[in-house]
Structures are given as C-alpha cells and as structure tokens.
Amino acid sequence: MSRRYFGTDGVRGRVGEEPVTPEFALRLGYAVGRVLAGNREEASVVMGKDTRLSGYLLESAMEAGLAAAGVNVRLLGPMPTPAIAYLARAFHAQAGIVISASHNPYYDNGIKFFGPNGRKLPDSTEETIEAWMDRPIKIIAPDRIGRAFRQEDAKGRYIEFCKASFPNYLSLHGLRIVVDCAHGATYQVAPSVFSELGAEVFRIGVTPDGLNINQGCGATDTHALAMAVRTHRADIGIALDGDGDRVIMIDDEGEVVDGDELIVMIVRERLEQGINVQGVVGTLMSNLAMELALQDLGLEFVRARVGDRYVMAELEQRQWMLGGEASGHILCLDKTSTGDGIVAALQVLARLVRTQKTLKEERQRLHKFPQIMINVQVKERRDPMQDAMIQAEVLRLQAALGRGRVLLRASGTEPLIRVMVEGEHDIQVQDAAEQLAELVRQRMA
C-alpha cells in the first residue's frame, strides 16, 4: 500500500495547503486516536511542538481529533522532538506527537509520531492510520471523550535526561560555549543543560516570535554562531535546528564541524572507553573520508538512504548503536531512542573534556574529501535519473572524477533536487557540481 500523506518524516508541507490544514489535522488526530487506542479502556499520548506560530492551530485541531477518539493528551508546549520521544516512553504513552517542520522555514509545518518505545512509527502503522482517515469521524461516547492537560514539569524532566547522558565523573567547568537554538524548540532547555553541567554559556537564537525559526541561524546557517564564537572568544559553538534533532558544531576559529566529523569523534571515544562498536551507519551523502576513517578503526560502515528514518532502520536491522548524517542527525542508541542534538553534542564534549583536546585538534584527525552540494529548485519532486541526458552526464562526471562520487536525489520534504559531487580536487569537484546543477535546472526547473 502506498502512503498518500506520510513522507520520510511524518506529514509536512506549507501551512494552509493540504495536508497542513486544521481540517486535516482534526481527521489525522481522530485516525491516530482510533488506531493507537485500539480496544484499550484508556489511551494517552504526549504532544509537543516547536515555536512556529502555526503550531497553536495544528495543536488545537489534533487535540480535538484525539479527544473525539477517546485519547487523553499531555500537552508539552514548545519542546524538542527528541524530548517528546523520551517523554512518550517515560509516561508509558501510546505515542508521542510532534508538531514541527524541523529545519524548514516558519511557513511550513508538519506532524510526526513516535511509538511507545520512543522510535518512529513503522510504515505499517502509518498505513493503518491513513486508512482510518477515509472513515467519518464518530465521536466516542460522551463519558469517554479524551481529556487534555498541560505537563508542567516536562522541561525539567528532559533536562535531567540529557544531563544523565554525560559521564558523571566529568564536568564542563572551564568551557566557554555559544549555543544557537535557532529560535526553535530547544530555546528553553539547551542552554540550561550545558550551564548546569558547568559550562559558561552564551545564548543566541533564543527569542522566538513564531516567524523567525531557522531564519539565518541554527544548524542550517552557522554564520551568526561562528561570529558569536569569535566575539565571545568561546571554545565551542553548538548549533541546533528548529526542532532540536540536529547538531552542527563550530570550533574556536569559527570553522564548521559537521555530523560526519562528530560521529567519528563519538566512535573514537566509545572505542577508547572499551565500548564495543560493531559498525556505523551513514548515508549516501556521508563523506568518503568518514568511511575510510572507520575502516582504519576496523569498523564496518554501511550507507543508508538519506534520512534518519533509513539510518535508524539499518541500525535496528544490524543491532548497531551509532549512525547519522552529515547534516547533524546523529543517533546514539546507547543513550536515547532517536536523533538528539543535545545528547549528541554532549558525547562530543565528553571526549574533548576527557582528552583535553580542542574541537579543532580533534577534527583535524579526519581529512575530508572536497564535497559540494547544490540545491536546485524544481516544479515537482521526481527522480532526476529518469532523464536520459542527466543520467549520461552523471556517468561522464563519475568517470572523470576517478576516486569520487556523484549523487542526485530528490528531497523528501521540499521541491528540491540535491546535486552532490565529491572528489579529491576542489576545483574539479566545484566545476562538476555546477555543470550538473545547471543541467538539472534546465531539464527540471
């Protein structure tokens, strides 16, 4: 069965256009409630959101649909996506619901789900929910209508959970850290986590107005963070995205340290602590240097499709613990059940504190291959490799690069074709990426 509404990360789109409307959210809430409640006498979910203005609209509609199905709702307010995954487990809820479009602009929004184990719902459950959406809403008996209430201690619970992922024999005392919360869901919790562990914290991206989420800040735009690191003479900058499941770091000279580099640091720390690391899952976009570095450590490396959903699927299948993406989705399944920007950052900080190395010193151990990615706006998302001219150009460029890679893929959440070229020589990689991007633009824009 093909899914009509659910993409790689729940339902997402522009607010006011299907499927991101209050009517759709009402029907979705009801369908989710009926599927998750099943034959239970009483079912409950936890529901949080990021800081988009439209979150209020969708939250209310989802709440009404869930109540109509007889499901109780713990409202968490603005909370990171991984916090909702954790709290779904902590409260033994049937699901965690997140209203967020992650790194997208404010005018987009979405709805995604976690199961009672804190992991994303399987495809089969999403398909069952979609089938229920074709049925009319029949409100449950009046005495069984669901209740909703605010969970006032949610932030404190999650802060303590994050802190517990950091070794209790270490401290961040003496570190100067700039934290960029992207005016998003982490703005109340992330600075507290790092400061309570002893760091001197400088905060940026912590004044959300409902419209400025991810705007010129956060994990998708680190220029402001790099400037703040230099201004405050900080040791490290930590950039989170709008819903807190991604992290990118900045060294003391303002240079970006991406997810591939951070994963290798975490792996090295696990190995040096005597922890068994059976293998690591990356994606088609993971830098070739990461693969080679892990091979040098004697570890198997597997590439999944782009998207933390697919990384998670590979990890679960192989029963491995570590994986992620260059974009900053990092999965440490020995610490939490989903990608968590704060928890991942703490694993890197633990290594730096224990080894007494700077982030710059640690990142210099991985010599990344030049890699260029260009996003090409298109009318509709479709496979560019179905175009014969594009396919022929990819094969030509791949042969010319020699030791390198060419990858084209349609974004799973936006009308974009991502053009990636990787190789040993900067100018050759840049020229190849620009040529291919221009051809894609001509053929598909």
**238 and 269 within one domain:** no
| Residue 324 pLDDT exceeds 50 | yes
Neighbours of 322 (CB within 10 A): 27
Q: Which pLDDT band, with edges at 50, 70 and 90, does 411 fall under?
A: confident
CATH number of the domain residue 424 falls in: 3.30.310.50
Alpha carbons 148 and 355: distance in angstroms, whole number: 48
Alpha carbons 349 and 273: distance in angstroms, whole number: 15
Least confident among 6-15, 222-231, 244-253: 6-15
Contact 302, 344 (CB under 8 A): no
Domain boundary among the residues 237, 256, 275 is at 256
pTM, two decimal places: 0.91
The tally of domains found in the chain comes to 4
**Alpha-carbon dihedral angle through residues 35, 39, 44, 49, given to the nearest 10 degrees:** 0
Q: Tokens representing 237?
A: 């900058």
- Active-site annotation, residues: 102
**71 and 145 within one domain:** yes
Contact 436, 127 (CB under 8 A): no
Strand-pairing partners, residue 176, are: 200
Q: What is the largest CA-CA distance in the chain?
A: 70
CATH number of the domain residue 274 falls in: 3.40.120.10
Contacts of 70 (CB under 8 A, 6+ apart): 33, 37, 42, 43, 140, 144, 145, 146
Least confident among 37-46, 99-108, 142-151, 216-225: 37-46
Residue 162 lies in a domain: no
**17 and 68 within one domain:** yes
Predicted pLDDT at 1: 46
Per-residue pLDDT tens digits for 81-113: 999 999 999 999 999 999 999 999 999 999 999
Alpha carbons 236 and 14: distance in angstroms, whole number: 35
Distances (CA, A) of 36 to 9, 30, 65, 95, 313: 19, 10, 13, 7, 22
Contact 272, 215 (CB under 8 A): no
Residue 1 lies in a domain: no
Supply the range of the domain harboring residue 282.
Answer: 259-363
Amino acid at 377: Q
Per-residue pLDDT tens digits for 205-219: 999 999 999 999 999
**24 and 122 within one domain:** yes
